[in-house]
Amino acid sequence: MLESIFKHKKTIFIAEIGLNHNGSFAQAYEMIMRAADAGADAVKFQTFDPELMNSPYTRSLLEKGDTSFTDRGVIDFLSKFTLEKDEYLKLKERATASGVEFFSAPFDAVSVDLLEYTGVKLYKVASSEVTNIPLLRRIALTRKPVIMSTGMSSEDEIAAAVKTLKDGGCPEICLLHCVSLYPMRSDEANLLRIVNLRERFGLHTGLSDHSTGHETVSAAAILGARVFEKHFRLGEDHECPDAAVSLTPAAFKEMVEKVNEAISMLGSGDIAYSGRESDTARGAKRSIFAATDIGRGEVFDEKSLVLLRPGTGISASMFYSVTGKKALRDIPAGAPVKPEDFE
């Protein structure tokens, strides 16, 4: 699973910084360090040119269905959250020094060029860009692994995106189940989609979670998700665009612990018991004892034998294999029957 980058990692936790840095290099820098301390394996940003993302007719088209007026509100808003080229280099350096991977979700080809200049080792495809085939082709040309969210996406759209990335040279793809609601209610999580994505596409799967807590993430882990992306903020008083669905460092650390605990609960799946349960079995199971005084040469029957705890002798499951056997010695009542006691 993304072995070339996250070597020997069984789970990957991504702190989605996104736009929560508020366009502040200082905030972004601190968030990387805090995310690393909280147990993140990677920090993820969003990289875009606002002029290449939204039409000035966005509001008019959404509200009236026409282009009767222009409004640069969204474009101007997004412009507040961009970072400079040299700042990307410094943030990546900070991430490397903190032991976490730095990467981002580009929203246009220009941003891919910036991230290539920065030296990222992998890419994120946001749910909104699953149908952006030109962007997917540009990302694929980098020949780097891709983690792709699948919110708002149909099966056919995901299939087309996966094919585009593979055909373009992408060496590895991980699909994240995602519900593009901010916040998402628990009854909207549709976590079984994780299983369907894995079976349908034969790819590693994970979860990009937009719930207010992190219980959904642990549940996803039980279903086989192993890559987990969660929005991150510095604290409860940190005002930022995705505050409603973001975890504080303490909550993120707790999420990591709970997910790893949930995965450890899965065990090996072996039907046979082992380990510490064996000690319980010795005391709780039954073995074969003499119910009465049994003389040498006497044939064991259901009246002369009894099943009692502990289970340190001949297993109770052998009861009817022992009845009918002839005693080779005298066995006093209450004594455990041993294999050498009968023919």
pLDDT per residue as tens digits for the range 71-129 = 999 999 999 999 999 999 999 999 999 999 999 999 999 999 999 999 999 999 999 99
Helical spans, DSSP H, in 20-68: 25-37, 58-63
The two counts, helices (H) then strands (E), for the chain are 12, 11
Proportion of the chain above pLDDT 70, given as a percent:
100
Domain 12-266 - what CATH class? Answer: alpha beta
Q: Looking at the predicted structure, is the pLDDT value of residue 9 above 90?
A: no
Q: How confident is the model at residue 8 (pLDDT cuts 50, 70, 90)?
A: confident
Average of pLDDT values for 244-251?
A: 98
Q: Looking at the predicted structure, is the pLDDT value of residue 204 above 90?
A: yes
The confidence score (pLDDT) of residue 275 equals: 79
Q: Count Cα atoms within 13 angstroms, Cβ side, for 302.
A: 1
* Domain range annotation of the chain: 12-266, 277-341
Average of pLDDT values for 179-196?
A: 98
Residue 37 CA to residue 98 CA, distance in Å, equals 8
| Beta strands 123-125 and 305-308, pairing class | unpaired
CATH code that applies to domain 277-341: 3.90.1210.10
Average of pLDDT values for 140-165?
A: 98
**Residue 165 C-alpha from the chain's centroid:** 22
Q: Identical fold at 12-266 and 277-341?
A: no
Task: List all residues 6 or more positions away from 280 whose beta carbon is below 8 Å from its beta carbon.
Answer: none
What tens digit of pLDDT does each residue of 17-40 get?
999 999 999 999 999 999 999 999
Q: Looking at the predicted structure, is the pLDDT value of residue 4 above 90?
A: no
Average of pLDDT values for 162-190?
A: 98
Is the Cα dihedral 134, 138, 139, 144 positive or negative? positive
Q: Looking at the predicted structure, is the pLDDT value of residue 338 above 80?
A: yes
Proportion of the chain above pLDDT 90, given as a percent:
95
The confidence score (pLDDT) of residue 196 equals: 98
Q: What is this structure's pTM? A: 0.91
Q: Count Cα atoms within 13 angstroms, Cβ side, for 305.
A: 27
Q: How far is CA 69 from CA 73, 78, 207, 272, in A?
A: 12, 20, 39, 70
